[in-house]
Structure formats: C-alpha cells, structure tokens
C-alpha cells in the first residue's frame, strides 16, 4: 500500500484486492522455506517491482505504486534458498498460495527470481525486513527468525562479509578449474593415509574440495551446479575457498606437476614444519601494525594477549591419580601427613605394547597411579599456557563465549631434552594428570585440522630455560586476526608468558600420526603394576 496520508482515491476499489491475504502468504512462504535455517542468496534480477506492477491488474496498479513496498521488493525480493539438488527457490513468492487478484503478479516475480543467476550470499542483522506500516497503510515486510540473523563482527560489517563471500566464490571457481577431480582424489588419498607430515591440518579442506568436485560432477544442469557451488561457499569454514594460496594448493600443484612421491612428501614436510606453517616469515609492515591496533581495539582483546603458564585447575583432564585432591579443593590440615601406601606388585612380563586409544579405553579406568619412563633423548615436551586475566575475551579458535577455553600449548621443534623440563632421564616420573590437546576439550566443536594429541602432565615439570615468546601461534587465533598475523606473530615472539616457576600443566605431548614407543608404568587396583609401551594413537 502507498505510504500516503490518504488513499489515492476516495472511491471503492473496482475489485476486491485481498491484500491482507497476500501479505500473509508472503510471510508463510518465507517461514516455511527458512524453518531449517538455510543460507540465503541474492540473485541478479531485473527491476522486480516493475515486474510486479506490470503483472497486477490495471485497476490495482495505482494503489500498489508504493515506495515502501518497492524498497522491500528491490532489496529482498530476489532472495532464494538452494536445496541439496541445486535448485534455487524464491524465498518469498509462491503463486500457489497467493490470493487473486495477485496470483499473476506473484507468478511473474517467482519466475523472474527462479531464472536469475545467484550473485552473492545474503546476510542481515536487521530484526525486521521492510517497513510493516506507515500510518494506516500496511506494506510488504517480514520478521525473520533469530536463527537467520547474522551479527556483524566488531571489525567487519555484513556488507564487507558479503563482499568477501563473492571473492571466495571467484577464488574457488579458479581452483576447481586449475585442479581437476583426479588430482584432488590423489591428494585426499595421500592425506588420509597419514603418509604426509601433519596431514591432519590439510585433510579437512581436501575432503571438502573433493566432495564439492564430486557433487558438481554428478549434477548435469549447469545452473544447479553453479548454485551448489554458491551453497558450498556459504557454508565453507574460514579459508577453505582459498585453495591456491593454502597448503592444499601447494600439494595439488606438486601433484599436478607430476612430481615423484618422495619429492612431494619432502616439500610438503618442509612447508608444514612448525616454524613455517602459517607463520609469517617477515616482520610486520607499518600498515599491518596500524591495522592490528584497530582490530585489537575493536575486539577489546588487548588483555587477552597477556598470558601465563597454566595450572592444573585451568585444564580439563581425562585422568588424575585416584588419591589426588580434587581440583579447586582447599588444602587440608593434615595434607602434610602421608597415608600408608600399598605395596605395589610388579607383574613379571615384558612391557605390554598397545595404542593410546586402547590404553585410554582399557587401562585408564582402573589406573590409580601412572609413571612415565623419561628417555635421555629429546622428546616433545609441552607447556600449556592460558590468559592472564579471567575476563579476557576469546582470541583462540576453540574459545567460545558459551564455553570458555583460554588454554593453548607450545612445544619446541625437534623436541627438547628432559633437563630443560626439570626431569631426570632414565627414571620413572609421576604423571599428575592426562589431558587431550586444548582444542579437543569441547566434544561438539573439535577442530580436526589441528590434529589429535594427548598430554601426560608430569609432576614438577616446567620449562626451566624459558625466556620469552610462545604465548600462542598465529594458526591458533580466530579468523578476525588472520589479516594481522604478521603483527600477532611478532608480538607472540617478544612477549613473556608469566609464572614459569609455578607452572603445573607441563609434560609430554603425544600426537596422532607419529610413532612413540614410550613406556608408562601403571599401578592399578590391588597394587598390580604393569609397564605399557604406547606405540601410536590408534
């Protein structure tokens, strides 16, 4: 209806317009198509409101010449949802449920939108789309569910994010053309067999890219194939669309060039080395430093960059010694008195070799005490650190407002000697806790691209030679910090993590995909003591 103080004519309309029913049908259509929280897309449509006016009955054309409705139709009228077969359906227009005399006009809108190509992902944080009423006049408008609202970040507007999605689409199309499906299949197979160093960091994007390739290959209709590509862009994890500029791109390029496997493996390992992977090799530019200041200020995360060594009550554990004091419990009056201990009975058998998964399933539930035999050679000793301030906002990918986890970890490339960690070699050392890597603590949001790993916390272990750095790695940070990773890397290398002498969460890191062959002595119920040799993850 027009947003005018009074109708354009005082006479009754020559036909019954059923305008209220039209508005209800539009809202019902939108509610039905968006009940499962689908992605919404914009389309490259003609002037939709003119399409509408040209198709309404002549006697209703003047009363429907409305600036508020025109703004709604031009902004939201071209929205579509895409189903699993790649079919795009208009989000608002359904001629089958539209009352006369608007059926022809809505059919024309639906046809124009359905035939238009998708040209972007649609995001909006507005609680009401359109202007429902001006004065006595109602207009086309909808109220989307809360699940459809997209909150802009503190550093990017929804318009900027939508522009990035359009760029992601262009980048992805170039990658699909550059790397045929057979090359991607080869890459995924190599990564799945764990024959490449730290393959888990790249396997996720390889699977995603191959799934998209196979979906497109199975879709014969060109428009549906393009729609499915847009659907992949809308749902893609951060960075997945940037195939050619990531590690999967370098692997695909080497395979496409026909390099021998040995060379492919060597080049991949060199690029995935902890000192290289996702770590800027040059100092930050003046522009990057300035941008970093703005981003950290906008995110109010300056305090989150201050880190300290973690204590046991900062971490989520899989196991602690049976008689250990529960986390958070205050010291008791008689804590200094040791209870009578059971005499451990050693089982006179060679070390029992098993995987971590079997050990966790069959041994941990009955284990009362665990000790690690410290080899003289370098091992992957690890320290966990956390935010110094309890109110620090999230900066890590696995730290969420509804489930806080401020803990990260660091190890030294090529391992480090036991003396550095206050450990004596060639003796058994008590284990005070066992924990998974911090990014694995939330079972509903496990970040598989960081790999799997378990940490055996060792009594009194600490990084004695620590001087500075290692508070976090750029690859651990949330996507908002990606563009300033050079500055974040420089900061992390120079900053000092506090509390190294009171650290309680240091120990041995064992990661999936490598061979371990390390001995652990376990005392279980009844005092039986058995040595287990953990050789690998699974």
pLDDT one-digit tens code per residue, 494-520: 889 999 999 999 999 999 888 999 999
Residues 363, 522 contacting (CB under 8 angstroms): yes
- C-alpha to C-alpha distance for 236 and 126, rounded to whole angstroms: 23
- C-alpha to C-alpha distance for 495 and 308, rounded to whole angstroms: 11
Rounded average pLDDT over 368-375:
97
Q: What's the 3-state SS for 276-288?
A: CCCCCCCCCCHHH
pLDDT at site 340: 54
Give backbone dihedrals phi and psi of 167, rounded to 5 degrees, phi first.
-65, -40
Is 60 exceeded by the pLDDT of residue 412? yes
- Give the range among 12-16, 275-279, 334-338, 472-476 with minimum mean pLDDT: 275-279
Nearest CA-CA partner of 515 in 358, 379, 321 = 379
Rounded average pLDDT over 442-453:
86
By percentage, how much of the chain surpasses pLDDT 70? 91
**Domains in the chain: boundaries:** 19-148, 158-272, 302-534
Is 80 exceeded by the pLDDT of residue 488? yes
Task: Read off the pLDDT of residues 252-262 as tens digits, 9 standing for 90 and up.
Answer: 999 999 999 99
| Mutual angle of helices 247-256 and 181-192, in 10-degree steps | 120
Is 70 exceeded by the pLDDT of residue 190? yes
Rounded average pLDDT over 24-42:
96
H or E stretch covering 176: helix 158-178
pLDDT at site 446: 77
- C-alpha to C-alpha distance for 60 and 102, rounded to whole angstroms: 9
pLDDT at site 201: 82
| Mutual angle of helices 485-494 and 286-299, in 10-degree steps | 80
Nearest CA-CA partner of 380 in 424, 420, 428, 414 = 414
Is 50 exceeded by the pLDDT of residue 2? no
- Give the range among 3-7, 129-133, 517-521 with minimum mean pLDDT: 3-7
Is 50 exceeded by the pLDDT of residue 372? yes
Q: String of b and e for 318-327 (b: at least 16 CB within 10 Å)?
A: ebbbeeeeee
Give backbone dihedrals phi and psi of 346, rounded to 5 degrees, phi first.
-75, 135
pLDDT at site 347: 61
Highest mean pLDDT among 221-235, 277-291, 483-497: 221-235
Largest CA distance in the chain: 105
Is 80 exceeded by the pLDDT of residue 277? no
Task: Read off the pLDDT of residues 72-91 as tens digits, 9 standing for 90 and up.
Answer: 999 999 999 999 999 999 99
| 219, HSE (Cβ side, Cα atoms, 13 Å) | 20
| 95, HSE (Cβ side, Cα atoms, 13 Å) | 16
Rounded average pLDDT over 369-373:
97
Nearest CA-CA partner of 170 in 219, 257, 242, 224 = 242
pLDDT at site 281: 60
pLDDT at site 504: 96
Is 50 exceeded by the pLDDT of residue 11? no
Task: Read off the pLDDT of residues 214-262 as tens digits, 9 standing for 90 and up.
Answer: 999 999 999 999 999 999 999 998 889 999 988 899 999 999 999 999 9
pLDDT at site 456: 98
Is 60 exceeded by the pLDDT of residue 338? no
Is 70 exceeded by the pLDDT of residue 341? no
Please calculate the CA angle 472-517-278 and round it to the nearest 5 degrees: 25
Specify the higher pLDDT residue, 109 or 4. Answer: 109
Is 90 exceeded by the pLDDT of residue 469? no
Give the CA radius of gyration of the chain.
30
The pLDDT mean for the chain works out to: 89
- Give the range among 65-69, 403-407, 426-430, 479-483 with minimum mean pLDDT: 479-483
pLDDT at site 343: 59
Kindly give the pairing relationship between strand 518-524 and strand 506-511: unpaired
Residues 6, 57 contacting (CB under 8 angstroms): no
Rounded average pLDDT over 264-288:
74
Highest mean pLDDT among 9-18, 198-207, 332-341: 198-207
């Amino acid at each position: 209806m027009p947003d005018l103080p009074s109708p354009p004519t005082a006479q009754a309309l020559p036909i019954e317009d059923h305008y209220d029913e039209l508005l209800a049908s539009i809202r019902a259509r939108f509610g039905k198509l968006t009940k499962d929280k689908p992605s919404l897309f914009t389309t490259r449509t003609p002037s939709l409101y003119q399409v509408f006016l040209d198709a309404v009955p002549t006697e209703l054309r003047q009363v429907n010449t409305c600036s508020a409705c025109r703004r709604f139709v031009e902004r939201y009228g071209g929205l579509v949802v895409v189903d699993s077969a790649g079919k795009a359906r208009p989000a608002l227009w359904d001629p089958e449920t539209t009352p006369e005399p608007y059926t022809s006009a809505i059919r024309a809108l639906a046809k124009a939108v359905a035939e238009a190509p998708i040209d972007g992902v649609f995001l909006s944080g507005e609680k009401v789309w359109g202007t429902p009423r001006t004065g006595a006049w109602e207009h086309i408008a909808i109220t989307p569910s809360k699940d459809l609202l997209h909150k802009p970040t503190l550093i990017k507007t929804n318009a900027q994010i939508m522009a990035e999605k359009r760029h992601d689409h262009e980048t992805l199309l170039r990658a699909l053309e550059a790397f045929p499906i057979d090359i991607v299949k080869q890459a995924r197979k190599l990564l799945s067999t764990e024959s490449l160093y730290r393959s888990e960091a790249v396997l996720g994007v390889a699977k995603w890219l191959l799934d998209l390739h196979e979906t497109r290959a199975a879709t014969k209709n060109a428009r549906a194939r393009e729609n499915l590509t847009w659907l992949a862009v809308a749902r893609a994890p951060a960075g997945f669309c940037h195939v050619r500029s990531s590690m999967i791109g370098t692997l695909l390029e080497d395979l496409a060039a026909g390099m021998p496997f040995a060379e492919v493996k060597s080049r991949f390992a060199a690029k995935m080395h902890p000192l290289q992977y996702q770590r800027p090799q040059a100092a930050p530019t003046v522009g990057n430093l300035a941008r970093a200041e703005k981003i950290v200020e906008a995110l109010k995360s300056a305090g989150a960059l201050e880190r300290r060594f973690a204590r046991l009550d900062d971490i989520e554990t899989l196991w602690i010694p049976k008689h250990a004091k529960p986390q958070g419990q205050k010291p008791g009056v008689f804590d200094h008195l040791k209870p009578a201990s059971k005499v451990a009975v050693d089982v006179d058998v060679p070390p029992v070799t098993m995987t971590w998964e079997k050990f966790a399933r069959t041994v941990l539930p009955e284990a009362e005490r665990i000790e690690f035999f410290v080899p003289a050679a370098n091992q992957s000793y690890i320290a966990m650190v956390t935010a110094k301030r309890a109110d620090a906002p999230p900066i890590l990918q696995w730290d969420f407002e509804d489930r806080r986890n401020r803990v990260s970890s660091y190890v030294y490339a090529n391992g480090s000697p036991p003396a550095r960690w206050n450990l004596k070699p060639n003796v058994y050392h008590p284990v005070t806790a066992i924990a998974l890597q911090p990014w694995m603590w939330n079972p509903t949001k496990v970040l598989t691209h960081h790999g799997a790993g378990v940490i055996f916390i060792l009594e009194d272990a600490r990084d004695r030679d620590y001087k500075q750095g290692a508070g976090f790695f750029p690859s651990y940070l949330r996507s908002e910090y990606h563009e300033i990773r050079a500055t974040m890397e420089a900061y992390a290398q120079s900053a000092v993590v506090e509390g190294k002498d009171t650290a309680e969460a240091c120990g041995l890191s064992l990661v999936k995909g490598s061979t371990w062959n390390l001995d652990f002595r376990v005392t279980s119920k009844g005092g039986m003591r058995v040595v287990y040799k953990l050789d690998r993850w699974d």
